Structure 1
Amino acid sequence: MNPLSEVRAKWGWFVALGVVLLAFGVIAALNLFWATVVSVYYVGIMMIVGGAVHLAHAFQVKAWRETIAWALSAVLYLAAGVLAFVNPVLTSAVLTLLMAAALLVAGVFRIFAAWRVRPERGWGWLMAGGVVTTLAGLVFLLGWPINSLWLLGLFLAFDLAMQGWALIWFGLALRR
């Protein structure tokens, strides 16, 4: 059987998953604070799992100095993960600040890259993307720390809704 026809036969599953994700996106959008807390908890879980793996790895390293370095790294991961559960508001503020800084740096690099390829066609699109990314980082930074109570939740809601719509339309296109 053709792999594409197997995917087409499952069009309804794509639509159903899309509807579920879209509904979750709407629920998240209705309470951005709680969506932010859920996002922080998710990051916290990942950090705790990462810290546990680091700690297990630390004791697999035979050299004592390397064991200490890996163990300290594990403890930092574990502490950050626990902090996400103990104080999700503080953690959301830190994550929002890091996101703002990352957007600012990425935007400046994109502007620089666009400027360097300036004679090429389409360089303006690269420049526009860099400017938008830089402005987003600046807006996030100027609204910090107040926006950290809802910004991560907004990103989660937007992502869930966009993935939901994408899967719905993909499934409907497969049906045709």
Structure 2
Amino acid sequence: MTPIDRSQGVAPAGDVHAAWGWFVALGAAFIILGLIAGSHLLLATMVTVYYLGASMMVAGALQVAQSFRLTRWTGFLLWLLSGILYVIAGVMTLMNPTLASSVLTLLLALFTAASGIMRIWLGAGAMSERGWGWVVASGILSTAVGLIFLLGWPVNSSWLLGLVLSVDLIFQGGTLAGLGFRLRSET
């Protein structure tokens, strides 16, 4: 067994195994939050949109501030303009969250379908490799989900982002709890 250099910020395996309960508790909290979000899809969608808008405003403001540190750089004006546009997009998101959720839902649908199409193409191009069928199957599923999202748009814009958040929280929670129980069994 090799010694762990704590100066690199790497926790020894024993420390991680001893914290198994924290992983389970965090997983349970995520699952509970996911169930709460799932029972209030409109609210979860609006919270997601507000979070995104606020994040865009903060990121844009930081970029604008950073641009003034780069006034001699040839890309200064583009960097500044990009930051200003990011702030404006964040403000517009916060001012009209319903429109923002509609646009985000449309983008989610388009990117999900495009991702699926790319996986089908990738899998079909790798037919000589083992497991190519799983890649194609995943692509078909993603494409179908993206198309279902598109067919429901814009009506589904009021709840779909909240549903995605809910499902993500539940899956993350299950993963964390599973990891915790796995760590417990290894101690």
- Provide TM-score, normalisation by structure 2: 0.87
Correspondence 1:111 to 2:111: no
Compute the displacement of 1:118 (Å).
Answer: 1.6
SS in 1 for 2:75: helix
SS in 2 for 1:60: helix
2:76 aligned residue: 67
Gaps of 5+ in 2: 5-11
Give the whole-Å Cα distance in 2 for the aligned partners of 1:66 and 1:131: 42
Compute the displacement of 1:153 (Å).
Answer: 0.4
2:31 aligned residue: 22
Compute the displacement of 1:63 (Å).
Answer: 4.6
Which has the larger displacement, 149-158 or 56-65?
A: 56-65
Compute the displacement of 1:64 (Å).
Answer: 7.9
Correspondence 1:52 to 2:61: yes
1:144 aligned residue: 153
Pick from 7, 15, 18: which aligns with 2:16? 7
Which amino acid letter does the alignment assign opposite residue 111 of structure 2?
A: A
- Provide TM-score, normalisation by structure 1: 0.92
Aligned residues: 176
2:9 aligned residue: none
Correspondence 1:169 to 2:178: yes
Correspondence 1:40 to 2:49: yes
2:7 aligned residue: none
Which amino acid letter does the alignment assign opposite residue 107 of structure 1?
A: G
1:65-121 per-residue CA deviation (whole Å, 9 max, x = no partner) reads 633222221121111111222111111111111111111221111111111112322
SS in 1 for 2:38: helix
Compute the displacement of 1:172 (Å).
Answer: 2.1
Gaps of 5+ in 1: none
1:113-157 per-residue CA deviation (whole Å, 9 max, x = no partner) reads 111112322211111111111111111111111111111101111
**What RMSD over aligned residues (CA atoms) do the two structures have, in Å?**
1.8
2:102 aligned residue: 93
Identical aligned pairs, as a percentage? 47
Give the whole-Å Cα distance in 2 for the aligned partners of 1:62 and 1:87: 34
